[in-house]
Structure 1
Amino acid sequence: MTLHYCLLVLAAPASGHTSLTAARFAAALLARGHTLSRVFFLDNGTSNGLATAITPQDERSPQQAWSALADANGTELVLCVSSAVKRGLLDSAEAQRHGFPAATVHPGFTLGGLGLLVEAMQSADRVVTFGAPA
Structure 2
Amino acid sequence: MSLNYVLVVSEPAYGTQLARTAYQFACAAIAKGHSVSKVFFYQDGVLNGAATTVPANDEFDLVNAWQTLANEHQVQLETCVAAALRRGIVSEQEAMQHGLSQANLADGYQQAGLGALAEALLTADRVLQF
**Counterpart position of 1:101:** 101
Contact 1:5 1:125 in 2 (8 A): yes
Q: Is the 8 A contact 1:20 1:61 kept in 2?
A: no
CA distance in 1 between partners of 2:17 and 2:108 (Å): 20
Question: In the alignment, which residue of structure 2 is the partner of 1:79?
Answer: 79
Unmatched runs of 5 consecutive residues or more in structure 1: none
Q: Does 1:15 align with 2:23?
A: no
- TM-score, reference length from structure 2: 0.96
SS in structure 2 opposite 1:27? helix
- 1:1-134 alignment to 2 at 5 Å? 1-130=1-130
Equivalent pairs, count? 130
Structure 2: any 5+ residue segments left out of the alignment?
none
Q: Distance in 1 between matches of 2:96 and 2:125?
A: 38
Kindly state the Cα deviation for residue 93 of structure 1 after the two structures are TM-superposed.
1.1
Runs of 4+ with deviation above 3 angstroms: none
Aligned mates of 1:63, 1:29 — CA distance in 2: 19
When the two chains are superposed, the root-mean-square deviation of aligned CA atoms in Å is: 0.8
Between the aligned partners of 2:93 and 2:125, the Cα distance in structure 1 is 33
